[in-house]
Structure 1
């Protein structure tokens, strides 16, 4: 975030001066009036300059792109980050060589990166973004794997007449399991436990 404090004879003069220094336009900045100033007698005696603080807000999406690029660089990978924004949902996709390092076992590393990305993009914001971070289409492959697992474990629960517990998963992956079995009248699913050990149980 770029920020400067500027004074002028009037608030408007100070704002215009700041825009020239920042080489930007009024709609691209946030302005805080520190002091409205005072004209004084005959416009000279006892006069006091107006003071404004002007800043160019950081684009949260661009900030995260930089953040992800720094992770890629830290891991020593050659990769590219592409972004798609749909309203308040932001999708980041990372493509490149040896991208498995960013995915990790069962996507644990990618999930951790996604969680941190969520914190970064929503820092000091009132209107929150939802974030998805993918790597070489891993999320879709993982979704298919989870759906297959859901049906397999449901069959196991029905055959054995016993509750089947799955491994701990992040909320968005548990949602995939719930959704995959929502129309199966022979089983019921529920999330149990506390994060980060919250998991799904399938009951016949």
Structure 2
């Protein structure tokens, strides 16, 4: 039997099959990257937990350490009594410990980390306080129409406020200033 296909149709068929194979390979690569990513996040939380456990031992503090992954980022929570000194005033010591732990992860893995460290449930309770602050600012903006400037906050605190404000229609928030005096301004939406 003779081949009646033209060279162009053969090239087109080959190109189509190569494209399909390339799409399958890209999909498989994406899946393996997701698995690797989860694996990397778990490794980061393990390194962080080991680092924090070492610090607790050195400081002679007792605490249970939970490792988890939430929202695509590794988290370590330390629960126990007598942990307030590790949180510090307005979470300043906690923020410093988080940065040190991120450096320990970078040193062990060679990759930067978005680790979130919580001690004694501080971040959960602070999140509730910040939600109330955000709702209060929104009420003032809606009542008076003038922008409301909040006190300077850490990146974690600003994100909590932005999340609450962005969920409410008719208002918007933006950060202004430079660390450590960076703050949020809540105003009526354009």
TM-score, length-normalised on structure 2?
Answer: 0.65
Q: 1:197 aligns to what SS in structure 2? A: coil
Deviation track 1:65-99 (CA, whole Å, cap 9, x = no partner) reads: 23212332344322232212469622111112211
Q: Is the 2:175–2:184 Cα contact (8 Å) retained in structure 1? A: yes
1:155-174 to 2 correspondence within 5 Å? 155-174=139-158
Q: Distance in 1 between matches of 2:81 and 2:49?
A: 18
> Which residue is equivalent to 2:35?
none
Find the partner of 1:68 among 41, 46, 52.
52
Root mean square deviation, CA, Å: 2.5
Q: Is the 1:78–1:96 Cα contact (8 Å) retained in structure 2? A: yes
Q: CA deviation at 1:130?
A: 2.2
Q: Distance in 1 between matches of 2:168 and 2:45?
A: 39
1:79-98 to 2 correspondence within 5 Å? 79-85=63-69, 89-98=73-82
Greater share of residues in helix: 2
Find the partner of 1:134 among 111, 118, 128.
118
> Which residue is equivalent to 1:189?
173
> Which residue is equivalent to 2:100?
116
- Structure 1's 175 and 86: CA in aligned 2 closer, same or farther, altered over 3 A? closer
Q: CA deviation at 1:115?
A: 2.0
Q: Distance in 1 between matches of 2:100 and 2:144?
A: 40
From the CA coordinates, give the structure whose radius of gyration is larger: 1
Q: Distance in 2 between matches of 1:87 and 1:201?
A: 26
Find the partner of 1:105 among 80, 83, 89.
89
Find the partner of 1:153 among 108, 127, 137.
137
Gaps of 5+ in 2: 1-42
Gaps of 5+ in 1: 1-58
Q: Is the 2:152–2:181 Cα contact (8 Å) retained in structure 1? A: yes
Q: Is the 2:78–2:119 Cα contact (8 Å) retained in structure 1? A: yes
Q: Is the 1:88–1:128 Cα contact (8 Å) retained in structure 2? A: no
Report the number of matched residues. 146
Q: Distance in 2 between matches of 1:168 and 1:183?
A: 21
Q: CA deviation at 1:111?
A: 1.9
Greater share of residues in strand: 1
